[in-house]
């Protein structure tokens, strides 16, 4: 199954859905919950929902742009779908969207749609720091609308709107989100899929509100037993190898035959119970 998230995400994890599905099915009886503290495009989460493998998903992202996009889709799906169908997909809209995301204003529909628009029309889905697909002169082989299939995207957004009562959304720091989770979710029936920014940040692909101290704090939180079911993906970095030396660490590229598609080596780390 291909991703059905409306977003393109550099390094998106939709391809892990089968693995996550297996983990979901090993949770105790339904209802089953699934949470992503660094959700980004939430590629895997929406597939699990579509397959009805999960009853409730909880998405969280600290970035006001990402949060605004999800919030607008969930709260105003028809308006968002209309905007997808009607907005001219050209350089003028691209520049206008850039001005909106760079203005640093708070969460709003306009910020959410501008973020989505840039994600679909910029190289590699990078919202800030990459130019438009096809270049500023639009002389490339691919043009700015190459990844903007209006009908398909509007349909994904309307479907997500129809799932609103099964999707919780928050804009918290991931560490806060995880520490609050035991009081918010039935954690024995919740799988946490944790996909933080790389330790070795590779350019400005997306917000990186992590640093070494926070990577360490995250490892403490995951390994102190508070959350019984979790899966973690990271870049293959010595800090991570050392912090999680007590856990099972698998090479993602080897496990999922992604050698050709990914430049960075990534690892998948499981909780003890897996
Ligand atoms: C690697 S991406 C997640 C990609 C996602 N798994 C997917 O498949 O689309 C990391 C996300 O974490 C968010 N982020 C960065 N630092 C954060 C923090 N401290 N707390 C919460 N979210 C954060 C970024 O905005 C970004 O969307």
Q: What is the token pair recorded at 224?
A: 């102190």
Determine the residue of 12, 35, 40, 199 to mutate for testing ligand 1's pocket, defined as the one with the most ligand atoms within 8 A of the Cβ atom: 40
Q: What predicted TM-score, i.e. pTM, was given to this entire model?
A: 0.94
pLDDT tens sequence for the chain (274 residues):
777 999 998 778 888 999 999 999 999 888 999 999 999 999 999 999 999 999 999 999 999 999 999 999 999 999 999 999 999 999 999 999 999 999 988 889 999 999 999 999 999 888 888 999 999 999 988 999 999 999 999 999 999 999 999 999 999 999 999 999 999 999 999 999 999 999 987 656 788 889 999 999 999 999 999 999 999 999 999 999 999 999 999 988 756 554 445 567 899 998 865 5
Nearest CA to ligand 1 atom 26: 40
What Å distances lie between residue 250 and 19, 247, 267, CA to CA? 13, 10, 5
Ligand 1 pocket, Cβ-based, cut-off 6 angstroms: 9, 11-13, 37-38, 40-43, 61-63, 66, 173-174, 195, 197, 206-210
Residue 166: name the closest of 50, 39, 17 by CA.
50
Residue 6 · residue 80 · CB < 8 Å = no
CATH topology of domain 1-62+172-274: Rossmann fold (3.40.50)
Q: What is the token pair recorded at 249?
A: 């660490």
The CATH class of 64-164 is mainly alpha
Q: Could you state, in order of their start, the residue ranges of all structural domains in the chain?
A: 1-62+172-274, 64-164
């Amino acid at each position: 199954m291909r991703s059905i998230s409306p977003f393109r995400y550099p390094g998106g994890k939709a391809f892990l859905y089968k693995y996550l599905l297996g983990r979901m099915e090993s949770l105790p009886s339904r209802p089953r919950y699934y949470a992503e503290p660094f959700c980004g495009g939430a590629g895997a989460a929406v597939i699990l929902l579509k397959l009805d493998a999960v009853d409730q998903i909880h998405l969280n992202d600290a970035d006001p742009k990402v949060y605004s996009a999800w919030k607008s889709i969930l709260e105003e799906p028809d308006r968002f779908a209309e905007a997808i169908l009607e907005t001219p997909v050209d350089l003028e809209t691209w520049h206008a969207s850039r001005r909106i995301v760079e203005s640093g204003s708070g969460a709003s529909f306009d910020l959410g749609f501008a973020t989505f628009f840039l994600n679909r029309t910029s190289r590699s889905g990078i919202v800030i720091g990459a130019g438009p697909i096809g270049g500023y002169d639009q002389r490339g082989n691919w043009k700015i609308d190459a990844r903007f299939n209006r009908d398909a995207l509007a349909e994904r957004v309307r479907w997500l709107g129809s799932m609103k009562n099964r999707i919780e959304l928050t804009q918290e720091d991931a560490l806060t989100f995880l520490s609050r989770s035991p009081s918010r979710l039935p954690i024995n029936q919740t799988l946490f899929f944790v996909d933080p920014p790389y330790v070795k940040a590779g350019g400005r692909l997306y917000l990186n509100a992590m640093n070494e101290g926070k990577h360490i704090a995250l490892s403490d939180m995951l390994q102190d037993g508070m959350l019984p079911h979790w899966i973690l993906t990271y870049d293959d970095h010595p800090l991570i190898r050392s912090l999680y030396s007590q856990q099972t660490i698998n090479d993602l590229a080897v496990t999922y035959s992604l050698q050709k598609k990914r430049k960075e080596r990534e690892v998948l780390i499981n909780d003890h119970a897996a």
